[in-house]
A and B are shown apart, each in its own frame.
Chain A
Amino acid sequence: MPTTKSLYGRRLTGYAIATAIVLTASLTLAFFYAPIEVDQGFSQKIFYIHVPLAIVTLGGFVVGGIFAIQYLRSGDTRHDLRSYTAIHQGLVFCIGALITGCIWAKAAWGQWWVWDEPTLVSFLIVFLLYCTYQPLRFSIEDPQRQARYAAVFAVVAGVFVPVNFIAVRLASPLIHPRVLGSSGGSLPSDMRIAFYSALVGVALLFITLCKYEMASKHSRAQLGALRRSVSGERDEPLATRSAAPRIAVK
């Protein structure tokens, strides 16, 4: 079995630096390079944060689902940890996408929440579903069963996301600006550069935070193991209820 030592913290510094540089550059582009939008004015700038957050959130949930499938196929607990982290961070980003969406709705339409907006409504439903991931894990004590059931949930929820988007979109008239539609989009090239750099920046932030969370959990598990070996306690950690996956430390 490969040792998990130093696995999670690898290249963390590099990712963190890249994130800081790309995010700063993309925000600079968004505020100083991309032109002010004619209809919405300065408030449209939130688009450069809101849309990347939304896209990365969905990406995170999909990645969580893929790792969950890998866990179910292999039984390797590292995939469970990756799935857990991707969904956990995805949820955090989802809150960000919802809040920025509300702010944008207020600026564009004068209301904090608009039910006519299918993407925002879909996000709320997806958020509500993924909110149950942590309570579900927490309510199962046996670590193996917890990981297996959480993986089943992650796969079901991952498939649910597109079905939900189709249903909500069918049910509501389209008023959201379709900036990147199938017809090639109406985004001018200078806005597009700022948008894509923001997307890369937010994606890098997601990866960095995931790696950071995994490294932190692993370090804490290692510290616990060291502390137990110093004090001469038994090698197994005491069984405590937790929503997070247990990490085996060599």
Chain B
Amino acid sequence: MSAARPPSTLTAARAVLYKELTLERRAPQTLTAMALFCASAFVIFHFALGRDELEGALASGVLWVTLTLAALLGIGRSFVADREEGGLDGFLLAPAPRTALLIAKATTLFIFLLIVGLLAALLFSVLLLGPTPSASQWASLALVIVLASLGIALVGSLIAGIAIQTRARDLITSILALPLLIPLLIAVTKASAPLLGLGAGTLAGRWLALLGLYDLIFGLLAYALFDYLVED
């Protein structure tokens, strides 16, 4: 009898991803919390700024601050169920490559962020945004949201992997994630500002390049270092 072959990285990642999405589908927690957080934040911004309509840099700032803080909720929840229910131990006992866990977690977070990002942008355009973006501006904004979600998902998975083993998990997640996400936030806010402005603003290539660079560097870093976070 030949021994069963261990699953490949992609097979294991797909299995974990399926588990994550099924969990969220059966008992929606993270997605709904993130979406509700965004809606509440927009209402708070309306009263705090005393403005009915926003445009340009201010609109871009409000949208991305809200999305970043909502992302923190998702990052904070990323490994909690696995840790509390023993899923992490189960994964470590399985003969699966550890990178599979990173891929699955980052993909889950990416999907969540993408859904919340697009929903929040739509909601933002209804509630607070003054100018009406054109179809091409919407497409550009969607591209920015995709690249930003990818970057946040990669950095977030790495941070969630670090924070899950600490005592003050929530504190560590927030204080680690916010400074690490600043370069990404600079790029996305600068990229989005002309798209949410009054004129026919277009997407500047250098901010996309910076976002791509950020995603690439932190993707490689997460890939190289994640194994050290799930050693025991």
Contacts and interface: CB of A to CB of B under 8 A. Distances in A.
Nearest to B207: A170
Interface in A111-159: 125-126, 128-129, 131-132, 135-136, 139-141, 145, 148-149, 151-153, 155-156, 159
B214 A163 contact: yes
Interface string B150-168: 0000000010001001111
A167 interface: yes
Given A141-B167, A156-B158, A167-B186, A128 B231 contact: no
Contacts of A87: none
B176 interface: yes
Contacts of A135: 168, 171-172, 175
Contacts of A126: 179
B179 A139 contact: no
A222 interface: no
A136 B166 contact: yes
Interface string A8-42: 00000000000000000000000000000000000
A84 to B, nearest CB: 16
B206 interface: yes
A125 B175 CA distance: 12
Contacts of A156: 158, 180, 218, 221, 225
Interface size of B as a range: 20 to 34
B225 A168 contact: no
B228 A153 contact: no
A43 B3 CA distance: 75
Interface size of A as a range: 20 to 34
B176 A136 contact: yes
B173 to A, nearest CB: 10
A148 B231 contact: yes
A164 B225 CA distance: 20
A72 interface: yes
A148 B230 CA distance: 10
B183 interface: yes
A168 B184 CA distance: 10
Contacts of A136: 162, 166, 172, 176
Contacts of A141: 167
Interface of B: 158, 162, 165-168, 171-172, 175-176, 178-180, 182-184, 186-187, 190, 206-207, 210, 213-214, 217-218, 221, 225, 228-229, 231-232
Interface of A: 72, 125-126, 128-129, 131-132, 135-136, 139-141, 145, 148-149, 151-153, 155-156, 159-160, 163-164, 166-168, 170-171
